[in-house]
Each structure stands twice: as C-alpha cells, then as structure tokens.
Amino acid sequence: MKLKSKLTIFLVAAAGIAPLADAAMLPSSGNVKFYDTPNNNQSNGGGEFRADILEFGTSADQYTFCLEVSESIKLDRKYRYTIDTAATSGGKNLDTGTPGRDTISKGTAFLFELFAKGALLGDWSGFSGFGINYTANRVGNSALMQKAIWALEDEKSFISNPTSTSHYSANGNIFLDLAIAQNGSSFTNARMDFDPNTTGVRVMNIEKWSRRKQKWVEGQSQLVWDPSPVSDSGTTATLMLAGLIGLAAIRRKTRQ
C-alpha cells in the first residue's frame, strides 16, 4: 500500500523565487528533459535535478527528486511523460492488488504538498534555507527529503539510521518524523495509499525510445504538483519539479 513512485517532484514557492509557470498549466502528457543542479547530493545517490517540460520552452520548469532506487534516468535525454496517481512498473511495489501500479503514500503526498506550497520551509530550521542558490545545507536537506521519500515508498529503510548531526532527529530523519506524526504517529499509516481527491500531488511517469529494442521503455517516475484537482485557495505554486535521480550520477544506468 505504499507508493513506489519513481521520481518525486517538489514544487517550491519560496523566498523570492518567481513562479516559472502556473501549476494549473501542467499538461497531462508531453515531453521532458532532466538536468543536473549544483544542489545534487551524489553521496546520497539522488538529486535534486532540474526538469524542463519542453512544451513550456527551454527554461527550468521544476526541480525534482526521484522515487525509485532501482530505476534511473539519463540527463539531457528527451522523455515522454503522462500524469497519474501511481507509478507504473519499476521499483518495489507492495500494492499486490494492483500489479504494475504503485500508488503514492500518504506520507509522501503530505511532505510533497507542503514543499510545493512553500510551507515546509519552517521545517528546515537550523539550516541556511532552501533558496534557489547552492548551499551545503540545501544539499543536506535534499538528501534528507530523498531518504524520507524512499522510506515512505518502501525503496529503502532509513527509519533506524540516527546520527549525531542536527540534520537528524531521534528517529533518524526530521522529514520522516514529520510524515509519521501527521499519520497518527504510525510509520505503517504514513506508508498507506494516499487519496488523490484530497491533494494535487501526482506522479509523472516517463518513457524513452530505445533504438535497440525499437520500443518505449520506462524510466524513473517523478512527483509533480497540480492544484487543479483540489481547491488551492487562490495560491499559485511555483512549478518546480523535484526529481531525485535514484542512483548517483556515476552509477546511473540507461535502460535501453
């Protein structure tokens, strides 16, 4: 019942960053390319990464975090995408009742919506902030967010990984703690399927054309924010895809 979404996208409406696009404009399907950013944390084996929706032009449209550890994407490669409420194929999938589809977890949806609306900024206390510019703390925070998502999506377990640094709480990860607290202080509850009628968090499933196989093959999915399914009280979120590429750049695989 957990999400196995492959790539998590985090929209950021934060500190002086002007919206790049109205989230309501996000097409339900289209084409996208992914690029590296200075905030990428290679030691964590993930992003953040920049995603450019080609229908929006050449500027960065979103910043992304990946969901699936076992999947990968190739930078500066054109992918086609579709928006869904579940990741399709790839990664671990404990949704035995829906083979091939892995619905987003409640905990992941909760964290991503806060992040998309800029409401998660206060939970990055003790750090220098989450602005658009590179900082060592932003890299550290991105790593923590990615680890929380992987734990909530059953990709990896970080709940028993405490550290002496201020980046971690007693449970091992401040963001994972936040998601657990929101769901009755239960890690099990936080990993249950989310209700798509209560949030605009969605999955961007991606595919690329394989010349060798002469067919479309799937890559890592991303999380995106689309306010149209729910009332957003007039809030305009900055469209920033957050996609954490599952494995470190040096280990990225290209599925052909």
Render pLDDT for 207-236 as a digit per residue (tens, 0 to 9).
998 899 999 988 888 888 777 666 443 333
Over 50: is that where the pLDDT of 204 sits? yes
Beta bridge partners of 212: none
Residue 226 in domain:
yes
In a domain, 79, yes or no: yes
Closest CA to 130 of 252, 255, 1, 10: 10
Q: Which residue has the higher pLDDT, 122 or 222?
A: 222
Average pLDDT over residues 234-241: 32
Higher-pLDDT residue of 182 and 16 is 182
Angle between helices 136-152 and 106-117 (to 10 degrees): 150
Is the model's pLDDT at 105 over the cut of 80? yes
pTM exceeds 0.85: no
> Distance of CA 123 to CAs 141, 231, 245, Å?
10, 24, 23
- Cα-Cα-Cα-Cα dihedral sign, residues 242, 11, 128, 167: negative
Q: What is the pLDDT of residue 24?
A: 41
Q: Is residue 169 part of a domain?
A: yes
Residue 101 in any domain: the answer is yes
Residue 175 lies in a domain: yes
Question: What pLDDT sits at residue 74?
Answer: 85
Check residue 251 and give its pLDDT. 29
Q: How far apart are CA 203 and CA 43, in angstroms?
A: 25
User: Nearest to residue 51, comparing CAs of 60, 39, 42, 43?
Assistant: 60
Q: Which domain holds residue 230?
A: 7-251
Q: How confident is the model at residue 85 (pLDDT cuts 50, 70, 90)?
A: very high
Classify the C-alpha dihedral 70-94-142-13 as positive or negative. Answer: positive
d(Cα 101, Cα 68) in Å, to the nearest integer? 13
Task: Write the CB contacts of 184 (distance below 8 Å, at least 6 apart in sequence).
Answer: none
What pLDDT score does 44 carry?
Answer: 61
Does 32 map to a domain?
yes
pLDDT band at 25 (very low <50, low <70, confident <90, very high): low
| pLDDT over 90, % of the chain | 18
Among 188, 183, 169, residue whose Cα is nearest residue 123? 169
What is the percentage of the chain residues whose pLDDT exceeds 70?
Answer: 55
- For residue 96, what pLDDT is reported? 63
Mean pLDDT score, 31-47:
71
Q: How many structural domains is the chain composed of?
A: 1
Amino acid at 175: F
**Residue 2 included in any domain:** no
Q: Which helix (H) or strand (E) holds 50?
A: strand 49-53
In terms of phi and psi (left: phi > 0; alpha: psi -120 to 50; beta: otherwise), the region of 254 is: beta
In this structure, are residues 221 and 68 in contact, taking their beta carbons and an 8 Å threshold? yes
For residue 17, give the DSSP letter.
P
**Average pLDDT, stretch 13-25?**
36
Q: Is residue 155 included in any domain, yes or no?
A: yes
